Structure 1
Amino acid sequence: MKKILLLLLVTSVAFSQTQNKKVKVILLGTFHFGATSDRNSTKFEDLFSEKRQNELALIAQKLKDFGTDKIFVENETNNQKELDQQLALYQSKQIKDEKILKDEIVQIAFRTSVLNNAKVVSVDYKQELPYDRINEYEKIHEKDVNPYSFFDVEYPFKEKRKKLAETPLAEYYVQLNNLYSRQALLYDYLHYALAYGIGDDYTGENFTTVYYDRNLKIFTNILRNIDLKTDKTVVVLFGASHTAFLRQFFENHPYFEIVELETVFFN
């Protein structure tokens, strides 16, 4: 009995100690600045204006001041060597290609790394969503009435949002990453997609599962690059729909603590 109590005590102490080693996570869900053909690309016509460059410099400084150790970015893992080379060119101010300079990885991750030598790590995993199955389902059931009334509920996200062109970048990022925006981004996967299917047909669920699978692989790649002995704060710079999913994984993992962007940018 004493051995069991001692084991429970040691286990409890060990668990308590590990809880104090939580890594702070800053989920910087972003829009794509225009260097990509991604469907979430956003026109950022004044990116190189003095105003926007000052805003980006401030964001980088805030991330640096918060003690960022690593920045995980939306770049495939097998491209790490190329990313390192690109960062070295950026540090020596040798990148002149505007298309490269337009990338948010360059504008935020590289900019921050220059300030505090934070490591920029590629953790993306490319995985195409099965839109073909969705399209096929639509053709077959084009004239059908969905038998499940829940999927006909009113669209809940009607709040007017601040436009990028009229909003300071840090403020826009806070809006893009708040609960309202996260739920709006997830609605496509947790509501609309799930309407595709009747009975034992789960076409929509399979669509959402593929996206969960991709983001869980990204999360796995992040875990593979975390060092609890040295990493205190990490940034995840990914498209906002990714960070909305990734947040679910980080929130339910005992070794991580999410830091809200308001705290990073405005405190």
Structure 2
Amino acid sequence: MRFTAILLFVLLLTATTVSAQQTEPVEILFIGFDHLNQLANGTPESEVLSPKKQAELAKLNAALKRFAPDMIMVEVDPKGQARLDSLFRLYRAGSLNLANLEGGRSETYQVGFALGKLLNHQRIYGIDHYDATSQSLLSQGENIEIYRQGLQTLQKTARPLKKAVQQDSLSLYDYVVAINRPEMIQLTHRLFYNTPALVVNGEFSESGTHSADLSKLDKAYIGAEFISLFYNRNLKIYSNILTTQLRNRGRKLLVMMGQTHIGVLQDLVKDNPAYKIIPALTYLAPPK
């Protein structure tokens, strides 16, 4: 009788533990980048493959390794997963020269691949949905000056940091920390997902880059239409994150995207009780 009671207690405890584990939220760490393959300006100091910058990237990868993600997600469309898999197999085998690979200086390879190899992952996951929308697309309308002032504020804040990295007076590691601070994420998020709503009765620039169908625009709400282009892309990225995680049962996700994506993706995840956001600075640097 006593043995039966003990056995029932053990089974109940095990069931409770398993149930708790199943309801624990998935941890997700977002890290934003100013795309590394666009960093070079022709000077040796701006070369991502230089020994100095490679050492700085090694420091970044070591910091992210402490998070111990079981899935690494990068800014590659899932349609390109087969190519991503092939390249990662070559990289793991030491047979891929990133210097000769188109885009090989990007964070997908310099951080995603490098970290995946450090953690002995078998796959890196593409979760992007590619739609191009340039900052300059919104160019005319009532209150356009408010948007332009916001754009200038961002440029005045971000450009000196990028220039310092290109001149080797700021390390790549510290640059990534700087652009992932909450105030920097909020600055870019406000510029692309809030401020443009003030712009009405306008036009998109004919020279602005975009890949969306603009034939059904409501020009009376041109700024809101501009926001919708960014938001639609990120909703699809969010869907890719969720479905990829669900399919592969990851519990600790590292999601690497351009910095302008981070604010909106974090907002979407905050409303999902199945996920818990881990601030990037928890591992990169203590927040100020």
TM range (shorter): 0.7 to 0.9
Whether the 8 Å contact between 1:72 and 1:236 is mirrored in structure 2 is: yes
Equivalent residues of 2:78, 2:127 under 8 A apart: yes
Between the aligned partners of 1:179 and 1:150, the Cα distance in structure 2 is: 22
* Deviation digits for residues 104-127 of structure 1 (CA, Å, limit 9, x no counterpart): 111000001111133310111112
The 10-residue stretch of structure 1 (181-190 or 18-27) with the greater mean CA deviation from structure 2? 18-27
Please, what TM-score do these two structures have when normalized by structure 2? 0.71
Gaps of 5+ in 2: 1-15, 203-217
Please tell me the residue identity of whatever aligns with 1:251. K
What SS is found at the alignment partner of 1:126?
coil
Paired position in structure 2 for 1:93: 94
Q: Which letter maps to 2:89? A: A
1:81 matches 2:82:
yes
How many correspondences in the alignment? 240
- 22, 25, 43: which is aligned to 1:22? 25
Aligned Cα root-mean-square deviation (Å): 3.4
Does residue 181 (structure 1) correspond to residue 193 (structure 2)? The answer is no
SS at match of 1:125: coil
Give, in whole Å, the separation in 2 of the partners of 1:105 and 1:191: 29
Contact persistence 1:29–1:238 (CA under 8 A): yes
Q: After superposing the two structures, state which structure 1 stretch, 19-28 or 85-94, moved more.
A: 19-28
Q: Which residue of 2 aligns with 1:129?
A: 133
Give the 5 Å matches for 1:73-222: 73-96=74-97, 97-118=100-121, 119-129=123-133, 134-135=138-139, 138=140, 146=143, 162=161, 163-164=164-165, 165-198=168-201, 201-222=220-241
Tell me the percent identity. Answer: 24
Q: CA shift at 1:228, angstroms?
A: 9.1
- Counterpart Cα distance in 2 of 1:153 and 1:49: 36
Gaps of 5+ in 1: 1-12, 35-40
| Structure 2 match to 1:57 | 58
Paired position in structure 1 for 2:10: none
